[in-house]
Amino acid sequence: MKFKLGDFVRFVDEKREGYVTRIIDAQTLGVTDEDGFEIPVAISNLTSVHGFGETATDQDTPKPVQVNAPSIHKFENGIYVAVATDNKAGNVVHFHLVNQLPMVLLASLTSEKKAKYAGLYHGIVQTGQATLIHSASLADLDLWPEFIFQMLVFSKNDIKPADPLVIHKKFRAKDFSTEQKELPYLKNKGWLIRLDDIAQVTIDPQKLKESFYKSPAEKKTVDIPAKEIDLHIETLRDDHHFLETDEILQIQLNHFQNALDAAIVHHFDKIIFIHGTGNGTLRNKIHKLISMNPHIKTYMDAQKEKFGYGATEIVFK
């Protein structure tokens, strides 16, 4: 019998059940039981639990959760991944792709680890639905691969098609540091992480550098940014007193992105952005952008003795 990640299985030779959370080799699977332990088990010693969720005998693409009244969920339109905990296996989490858009979502999920890729999911997610796309053991968070989401939206209405989204996401402990909440369209609690609020596509440094040229004949180069970039609005605009709050934030984010792109083009090892403390909005937005950029290795609070918590240092790969 063929199993896939997320299948709920039972051991043949003992009274134990769990979820398939790792494919070790062609004959062996990693199964996480209700105590949260992942156990290597021979495929020949496993059987599907009849009637429990989607098993390997069902369709390859998990079926979406049907929603009769999507309007009861009052959260911002967008594309989310809902990471739900499991009541039977404490360390197992299930990833659901949530479509809170007025359009159909065509999506795929691929994992990448050490330049090796594996397709995890492909399918269609209707408006107001959540679809199971992956399962894993939260205890092995540090071993999780990077996830690559590729998405298109579709509508029969007179709407200009949006550009495809390609989002690289490496989940970290901070993604699960907040309190678990009831998840939309699901019965489980967990964490809701928005994917599309930052339309961050994979950056090709060469193409990025070329985009700064007006024409090849002009041979205009990309200016080298400073090692420390001050994002305080008073340093960016003389007319900041006349700007609305959302205008100020957008100017700061644009300045951040331009400097970050230039640092990537010039192969910086690291760069510091001074954003201040304030209410934390700018800092949080910047950290979201950083966490989804495939060229960034890590980031941290920069020189606390100098900046306190008002600056972020970025280290590039």
Place of tokens 């644009």: 254
Decide: residue 239, CB within 10 A, 0-12 exposed, 13-18 middle, 19+ buried: exposed
Domain 1-59 has CATH 2.30.30.140: yes
CATH code for the structural domain at 205-316: 3.30.1370.110
CA dist 71 to 68, 75, 82, 108, 184, Å?
Answer: 9, 9, 18, 26, 11
For the beta sheet containing 92-100, the strands, ordered from the edge strand earlier in sequence to the opposite edge, are 129-137, 92-100, 78-85, 189-194, 181-182
d(CA 111, CA 85): 21
Instruction: Give the pLDDT score at 59.
Output: 41
Angle at 120 between CA 299 and CA 147, to 5 degrees: 10
Tell me, what amino acid is at 136?
Answer: A
Higher-scoring residue by pLDDT: 45, 221? 45
Where exactly are the structural domains of the chain? 1-59, 70-194, 205-316
Say which residue, 213 or 174, is predicted with more confidence: 174
Residue 259 has pLDDT above 90, yes or no: yes
Q: Is 180 helix (H, G, I), strand (E, B) or coil?
A: coil
Identify the pLDDT of residue 87. Answer: 77
Say yes or no to pLDDT of 1 above 60. yes
pLDDT at 70: 39
The CA distance from 238 to 250, in Å, is 16
Name the residue type at position 277: T
Mention the CATH class of domain 70-194.
mainly beta
Quick check: 56 pLDDT over 50? no
pLDDT of the residue at 151: 93
Mean pLDDT of 19-42: 78
Q: What is the mean pLDDT of residues 204-232?
A: 68
pLDDT classification of 36: cutoffs 50, 70, 90: low
On the question of pLDDT at 63 being above 50, the answer is no
Around Cβ 124, how many Cβ atoms within 10 Å? 15
The band of 213, judged by pLDDT with boundaries at 50, 70 and 90, is: low
What is the reported pLDDT for 7? 78
d(CA 297, CA 170): 11
Element (H, E) at 38: strand 38-42
Instruction: Pick 251 or 2 by higher pLDDT.
Output: 251
Q: Where does the pLDDT of residue 201 fall: very low under 50, low under 70, confident under 90, or very high at 90 and above?
A: very low
Average pLDDT over residues 287-304: 86
**CB contact at 8 A, 115 and 148:** no
Q: Give exposure, 34-64, as e/b (b: 16+ Cβ within 10 Å).
A: beeebeebebeebebeeeeebbeeeeeebeb
**Does residue 82 surpass a pLDDT of 90?**
yes
What pLDDT score was predicted for residue 206? 59
Select the more confidently predicted residue: 210 or 129.
129
Provide the percentage of residues in the chain whose pLDDT is more than 90: 28
The pLDDT tens digits for 4-23 are 777 788 888 888 888 887 77
pLDDT at 172: 85
Whether this model's pTM surpasses 0.75: no
Buried b (16+ CB within 10 A) or exposed e, 182-208: ebbbbebebbbbebbebebeebeeeee
